[in-house]
Structure formats: C-alpha cells, structure tokens
Amino acid sequence: MQKLLEQPGFLAPSGTFGADLSYLLAVLFTGMFLFAWGLAKKGLGTQHHKLIFVSMVSMLVYFIGYYYARQLGVLSFEGKEGFGGPQNIYDNVFVPTLTTHLILVCLGLIFSIYMIFQGFRACEKIDGNYILQSKELKANPKIFKSTMITLVLLWAGNQSVLTFIRHKSFAASLAWAIIFGVIALTIYLEKYIEKSLPDGAQRHRILGRVTMVIFALILVTSTLVYLMLYVIYPKI
C-alpha cells in the first residue's frame, strides 16, 4: 500500500497519490460533517445520525489504514525529504503547522470515536426516528471496564504486529502507544465530563460543536501543509 501512496499524484505536479487522496478525503469528510451538523440543526435527527455515523466510520477506517501503512512516519515521509524550501521556513512554519495538524488529527479521531458511542447512548429510537433525550447520562461501570481491557488487548495486538511481523521502529511503536493512551485517557475523562455535563443531549450538542471545529482546523492545516509541500516549496 505504501508504494501506491508514493505514486505521482493528480492535483499538483510534485504531489503524491497518498497526499492528494488524503487531502481530497479531508475536504469530503469535513463537508459531510458540516452537512450532517446542518441536518441536526434542522431537527432531522435520523438523517443526521445515519450520515454522521457512515462518514465518521469511513474516515476512521481510511485514516487508520493510511497512517498505519505509512508507519505514522508522516514527518519522515512528507517532512524534510519532501520539503524544498528554506531551512528557517521549515523550522519556524512548516514543522509547527504539521505538528499542529497531527495533533488535531489525533484529537479528531478520538472525538469521532467518542461521539459515535455518545450519540448512540444519548439517542432513543422512537417510531423509527433517532431523537436526542434530555436525561442524565452516565457510563456503565462494567462497560467502562470492558472497554479499557479491550483497548489494552488492541494495543498489545498492534504492538505484536509492529514488532514481530512488520519489524517497525521504536518510534512507530511509541506513536501508536501514545494514540492508544490518549484514547484511554479520553474514555477515563468521561467520568469528569459526566459531572460538568450530566445531560446527555446537552453534552452531545456541545461536544459535537467542538468536534466540528476540530475538523475544520484539520482541513485548514492540511491545506497549508499540502501547499507548502507540493505547490510553494516542492522538493526538486
């Protein structure tokens, strides 16, 4: 898959297929999220629920596969080797922008997973329609425990694949460990979110807006990174 991602792109002369596909999908997913948000604002809960679920699951599958294929080595694959501009621009503009983008991507993935489950928990299906219910929403202790155990098992399985099958670097293993750790921390923080936002419907609306802002910023930073790498300062 990595060889396919490294093939010449179709948007910019110096771009790669992976970079072009990633950018187009970032635009597509952001547009789908905003459209789904608009459906929710109009009170079309069922349409919102279905569209946001399909788009978020699609996004998760793509981005996890995309960065997994590239060993989470974005800084090496699209970093100094692909940047043809001055060193001061690379140090003071490109690296901070790319770092911000990667942080936002991680946050976006985490919020996406959280919002999918939180949306199901906060809604009730009445006469075939999904409707947000204004009621106190608390995590089930048994589900919380089983979720944390599942995360540990997934991390262990992923680590085994990276180490014994794919023979990846320590940096790649550390990156994945951080991602799993942040996801676990987010789930753990649910207990504190429950105290500040006990109403499930209110929590979903507020955190949904936060998620939309994150994905809008992901689109902005991905555009800046793409332009710097493949349009303004391409590697010749």
How high is the pLDDT of residue 97?
92
pLDDT at 178: 75
pLDDT of residue 77: 43
Quote the pTM value: 0.76
Pairing of strands 129-132, 123-126: antiparallel
- Segments of the chain with pLDDT less than 70: 1-2, 5, 64-81, 165-172, 236
Which tens digits make up the pLDDT trace of 5-19? 677 778 887 777 877
**135-152, pLDDT tens digit by residue?**
888 777 787 788 888 888
Single-letter code of the amino acid located at 191: K
149/117 Cα distance (integer angstroms): 17
Return the pLDDT at 1.
60
In the three-class reduction of DSSP (H, G, I as helix; E, B as strand; rest coil), residue 128 is classed as coil
How much is the pLDDT for 98?
Answer: 86
- Cβ atoms 234, 34 nearer than 8 A: no
